[in-house]
A and B are shown apart, each in its own frame.
Chain A
Amino acid sequence: MTSSRPTESVQPHNLQALRSFTTALVCFLFWLWPSASIAQSHQTASPVIYIVGSGNDALDRHVTGLLADQLGDEATLMPIRDDQSMIGTDSPVVTIGPVAFSKIRQMNRDAPILALMVEKTFIQGYANRSPGQVSAIYYDVPLVRQALTGKAILPQSRQIALLASTESVEIYEDLIDQLSAYNLQARVFITDSDDQLIPTLVRALTYGDFVLAGSDDAIYNPRNIKHILLTAYRRNKIVIGPSQAYVKAGVLASSYAPFPVMAEMAGTYLQGYLAEGHFPEPDYPGEYRVEANKQVARSLNIPLPERDWIAEQVDELLQSGQGGAE
């Protein structure tokens, strides 16, 4: 009877060791498998870049298509629906418009985001707080470029009138410093209420050869634009900027960045992120075109050059003015 007891006692010991070995192996394999799997996927599949749309299918499809063309096989663009959670991913996220950016930012403050179709004033604070993690391709047009668009159309112009509120006047500060390089000068006229708008505009029109409209929705909005454009038109003064949409309303011209150019720049930023793990700083696109209202120009007896010529002229002026002040 005694001889059987050691046998009985050994068996459990061996079994325990086997169990421990098996557990360690499984743990090792479990530890090893994801790494191998990820390594394998890196070798065989492109990384995923999430894209959050504006909610408009046409716009989102267009931007996604252009971006996909830019990225090619280097990454896979994966649209995210509203009900999909983004929290936890380390993959870069492209957002279209300020609403999409705000949504993603609220869901995950650590998510790397490349914001498209946002203005500098909107995104700059985020980008400063999260350098390399948040970047953008600015949608608004540099004011100095807009000013030179006016100069290219009215070469005799020298003085630029700017309308601003006390809250928005800051957006013109850099511009005013830059203009002297182009033999231009500007003056800001402050209006903070509806009552002040027209009297201030009338005073501004006596100063400026043209009015430069920045991205300031307190001044340039659907409610005010009618009064501004009609008053300026009656005084034979033109308005430049802030965007293409206002050109249709009656603004004489505005520069704008073409979508393919913005997409190309976004592609470069994403490739940079995938390679280095951080985005370049937000910036403006490198190429702009000009939209112009030919009917308004004709009516004001302003000989309007070809749009391409204006854009080229603006580029030349920018280069001539101390190496470009954008």
Chain B
Amino acid sequence: MSITNYLPENQSRQPRTGLVFRLSLLASAIIGITATTASAAPADQDFNAGFISFGDDIPEVLTTTRLRQPKTRVPGSTTVITGDMIRDLGIMNLYEVFRLVPGMVVNFVGSHQPVTTYHGTVHYEQRRMQVLVDGRTSHKATLSDMDWETMPVPLEMIERIEVARGPNSAAYGINAFLGTINIITRDPADTAGVETRVVSGSRGYLRTFGSVGDAGPDVDWRLTYEKRKFDGFDYQVDGGERFPFRNGHDINSFTYDSRLKFHDQVDLELRTGVVDGTKYNDKDKTAELNPFDDPDIDVRDYYLQSKLNVRTSDRHFFHVMASVENFNRRQPYTISFPDEAVTCLENGTPLFRRDSNRDFPCYPDDAPIAGFAEVDADSEDTRLEFELQDTLIINNDLKVASGAGFRKDTFRSETYFNGRGSNYQSRFFGNLEYTPLSWLTLNAGGNWERTSTTDNSYFSPRLAANFTFNNRHALRFVYSEAVRTPDGFEQNPDWGYTLRNVSPAIYSDLEGRRITTQEAYEVQGWLTLGRDLQEEHIISREISYFGQFPLEQGMLSIEVRGFNDELRDMISGVIQLKDWSVDNNVAIDQKGFEVEAMLEYPGTTLRASYGYLDQDTWYTGEPIFNDDGDVDTVKQQRTTDLLTRMSVRHSGSLAVIQDLPWGLKASSAFYWADEFGRSQFERFDARIAKRIYQSRYTAELAFTMQHYLNRDPELSSDNNIKDHNQFFVEAGVRF
């Protein structure tokens, strides 16, 4: 007999204290049935005593308002990755989860800066997917970037991740352009007790996690701590030689989640978190103006979130959410400069202008260092967000969700904005779900939003028809439109580095001088500074099928999505001090299909995902001129290429999770994505875990191996690892 008992297994049976309860249960059953005498006629051969008798005592817990929408009725394709699957597959970092999502790819830019995207169209700044953690917008407020490595979301606390593929602005607003990532952490009620885990592995990977919490009648709470350390890539290459690559991180995060229960129908969620640590940056990869030392980033973020949930009836509920997030990044570093650079600044020659030989006269290759100065790329963003959402279930076939939201993004940065400023967004949204026939569900939704970044308002609609058969098969037709507005930095940059502590003294006249794009540009014809950017548009059409096939010993689930999208006025270009060339200048037509399948047998789970993407991209902006005044077709082509560097034609994953005897569980996964800029990504993971169930705790020991099949870096020639077999060991315990 398998038993996790801290008392002897065959303890003698004690008098049942529950007898009184049981008798009272029947007594109440009797009372309950009295109330329904009329309906409970003796002649009724299917007299349903169980329902009636205990109904008064046992509350209906999973009411309509608490139930999630079934996939057959969802207006679009959604991938759900459960926390258990993430842990069973031995995934080491949050961003790697998205390799399991059809059509999504993950790679790295800069100093091991993870970027994940759906259908490409992104490189450095991941700005076309809405990312939410427990309903809280998580991308940085003004630079529209996702910093996956500093997100305060321990893998152990992930309940599930839902990725809505396709434009979702109708529900989530104007940044849900290509899709929405919704990370749902575990409810504090579900993590009562103590849990701790340590994972250590190749390339200096170390992750320690601990949580403590409790669930009570009035308050559920949880406190977590996580430390993440990683060395990143092993080396970079320059001129065929290998050099050390400083690109890791050392991040600590504390989170506190709680739920105050005022009443069975009213509760208040309170969440807060603090992130502190360092992101290591290599001076040859990151930062401007020829850094002399490594421009590491000191991270100090925090957030506060509250959400009031009110259920006024079994068919009506609403929530009011308020959150504030602060992203504080300090990036001080020292730059060096030759005499020639000082001369250029004195005579007004842009620092990165090339001469006729394509050399940099202000920074000659063999010029000795003449002076130093301290600069910084500090920034602090604060996002204030309110949301009210109301859901009314008129009947089982008619459901209305509506709400309003307001967001204020405040930015403070001498480097990027030369001061501070704010952007404002307000929106109203709604969705009607109507099932006129048992086999047809219609969804009509829209989002009206106004933003101060463009001083315009936009409406993003979505229409969907789901044809369902036997509640097991659904054929969906979805039409949606969405916009993405430029972020605060894209629209209103004032980028410059102020020189401080300039040395030696002969350069003291440079003290306090601010070096801006105008003093650093490479080609004047590329500059688009001061140009008003407009919103990007997407029109998306989707036909998808979701089906479940019960088997004698298992279950097969399949989802296939076909899409045809038109993306217009896409903002592309380079964001560098010497080259600011972003504009609404690219159009994309894309089509393809995606498959997600899962086969579950007793003790065995097989999962497969595949995405095929066919993109047609062309330049639609104003002509770009070179220094000679000719149209720079190379630059124009490069601008379109920038949006396709992470657009891969084929991508996918295969995974298997297998229970083994003696409490062992094995898993393996294969991930691939082809046609990155330089090469393709192919990795095989294998994990074996032993779970030990003891009286008051469950422990787990695991070993994971990652094998990189392709040994060439995919995006950058600097992203190299020495050993293509990476190993990790982990130990965890839950009380």
Contacts and interface: CB of A to CB of B under 8 A. Distances in A.
A is bound by B: yes
Given A57-B37, A202-B734, A301-B548, A221 B21 contact: yes
Contact of B21 (A117, A121, A217, A235): A217
A56 B34 contact: yes
B548 A230 contact: no
Interface in B680-725: 691, 693, 695, 697-698
Given A117-B26, A226-B61, A249-B62, A156 B600 contact: yes
A186 B192 CA distance: 23
Contacts of A54: 26, 29-30
B26 A295 contact: no
A158 B659 CA distance: 10
Nearest to A259: B47
B53 A245 contact: yes
Contact of A291 (B50, B190, B695): B50
B67 A156 contact: no
B366 interface: no
B662 to A, nearest CB: 12
Contacts of B22: 98, 119, 122, 217
A110 to B, nearest CB: 23
Nearest to B215: A198
Contact of A56 (B19, B30, B46): B30
A248 B60 contact: yes
A58 interface: yes
B344 interface: no
Interface stretch (A26-34, A43-51, A166-174, A274-282): A166-174
Nearest to B42: A65
Nearest to B220: A198
Contacts of B68: 299-300
B187 interface: yes
Interface stretch (A16-24, A73-81, A86-94, A187-195): A187-195
A55 B601 contact: no
B40 A58 contact: yes
Interface in A142-193: 154-159, 166-170, 173, 176-177, 183, 185-190
B193 A234 contact: no
Nearest to B599: A156
B26 A97 contact: yes
Contact of B31 (A56, A156, A218): A56
A59 B53 contact: yes
A186 B58 contact: no
A72 interface: no
A315 interface: no
Given A217-B22, A245-B55, A298-B471, A236 B82 contact: yes
Interface in B530-567: 548, 550-555, 557
Interface stretch (B7-15, B198-206, B378-386, B571-579): B7-15
B5 A305 contact: no
B33 A58 contact: yes
B574 to A, nearest CB: 44
B45 interface: yes
Contacts of B57: 222, 245
B398 interface: no
B50 A245 contact: yes
B2 A157 contact: no
A297 to B, nearest CB: 8
Given A59-B53, A256-B50, A230 B61 contact: yes
A70 to B, nearest CB: 13
Given A202-B192, A225-B58, A246-B58, A190 B698 contact: no
Contact of B60 (A158, A198, A250, A299): A250
B312 interface: no
Contacts of A157: 602
A169 B59 contact: no
A204 B48 CA distance: 31
A98 B29 CA distance: 12
A243 interface: yes
A207 interface: yes
B602 A55 contact: no
A99 B23 contact: yes
Contact of B735 (A159, A199, A295, A298): A199
A62 B7 CA distance: 44
A61 B42 contact: yes
Contacts of B50: 243-245, 247, 256, 291
A61 B47 CA distance: 12
B508 interface: no
A189 B735 contact: no
A64 B43 CA distance: 11
Interface in B433-464: none
A202 B55 contact: no
For chain A, give the interface size range.
35 or more
Contacts of A57: 34, 37
B1 A176 contact: yes
B471 A303 contact: yes
A267 interface: no
A227 interface: yes
A244 B33 contact: no
A260 B45 CA distance: 6
A183 B552 CA distance: 13
A155 B552 contact: yes
A206 B67 contact: no
A59 B49 contact: yes
Contacts of A195: 192, 214
B11 A202 contact: no
Given A166-B5, A202-B193, A295 B62 contact: yes
B64 interface: yes
B239 interface: no
B290 interface: no
Given A167-B14, A245-B55, A156 B555 contact: yes
A231 interface: yes
B189 A249 contact: no
A296 interface: yes
A234 B734 CA distance: 19
Contacts of A170: 10, 13
Nearest to B18: A217
A199, A227, A235 — which one has the most chain B CB atoms within 10 A of its CB? A199
B165 to A, nearest CB: 17
A187 B4 contact: yes
A46 to B, nearest CB: 20
A99 B693 contact: no
Given A155-B555, A231-B189, A295 B30 contact: no
B603 interface: yes
A173 B51 contact: no
A18 B66 CA distance: 93
A189 B33 CA distance: 34
Interface in A202-243: 202-203, 206-207, 216-218, 221-222, 225-227, 229-231, 233-236, 243
A159 B602 CA distance: 8
Contacts of B218: none
Contacts of A56: 29-31, 33-34
Interface of A: 54-59, 61-62, 64-66, 97-99, 102, 117, 119, 121-122, 154-159, 166-170, 173, 176-177, 183, 185-190, 195, 197-199, 202-203, 206-207, 216-218, 221-222, 225-227, 229-231, 233-236, 243-250, 256, 258-260, 291, 293, 295-296, 298-301, 303-305
24 contacts: A56-B33, A59-B29, A65-B42, A97-B30, A99-B27, A121-B16, A155-B552, A155-B602, A188-B2, A188-B3, A190-B4, A190-B5, A190-B7, A195-B192, A202-B190, A221-B21, A244-B49, A246-B54, A249-B60, A296-B62, A298-B67, A298-B72, A299-B70, A301-B70
Report the 3 A-B pairs with minimum CB-CB distance, sorted nearest first.
A244-B50, A245-B54, A199-B193
Given A97-B26, A166-B5, 20 more contacts: A57-B37, A59-B33, A98-B22, A99-B23, A157-B602, A176-B2, A186-B2, A189-B4, A199-B734, A202-B192, A217-B21, A230-B189, A233-B62, A234-B159, A236-B160, A244-B49, A245-B55, A248-B60, A303-B471, A303-B472
